[in-house]
Amino acid sequence: MKRVYIFIIMLCSFCLLLSACKSAEAESSIFEEIRTAPVVKLESAEQQENEPLFSYSIITSVADMRIVPSDEEFNQEWLYRFTYNPREKVINGHEIVILFGSSALEIDGVTYVPEDGVPYEAILEWAEGKYNYYCK
């Protein structure tokens, strides 16, 4: 009977270990999809009446930013929205929406914040610069 309990405890520990690995793997996977996306749709909250712009130039720097997942909910208005693999252009692709808010960003439904020592303003300036470069 004691062996059964030990086996169950080991099995639960193994499952917890696998679930932790899967989370990091999924995060890595989403950033790899961003790096390899053939097109991105760029939108600004200030320019919503304008047609969105589709860029076929790779805008991957967001996948290399020093950001970490956060437990916080993204409950702010977005200022910029970058959609990688947009449905309008990539048939049967995995559409990845990145919302840039005033203090955090959301990638595919997960809130991200900058690592310690990285000002969020720099991330927001990057998004604004990319939008202005491709859309103006």
Tokens of 130: 């990319």
Domain of 98 in residue numbering reads as: 2-135
pTM of the entire predicted model: 0.76
Q: What is the pLDDT of residue 3?
A: 57
* Residue showing tokens 């990145």: 98
Q: Give 113's DSSP letter.
A: E
Count of domains forming the chain: 1
Q: Give 38's DSSP letter.
A: S
Ramachandran bin of 91, using left for φ above 0, alpha for ψ from -120 to 50, beta for the remaining angles: beta
CATH number at residue 17: 3.30.1490
pLDDT digits (tens, 9 = 90+) for 78-123: 999 999 999 999 999 999 999 999 999 999 999 999 999 999 999 9
Q: What is the pLDDT of residue 10?
A: 44
Lowest-pLDDT choice from 37-51, 57-71, 95-109: 57-71
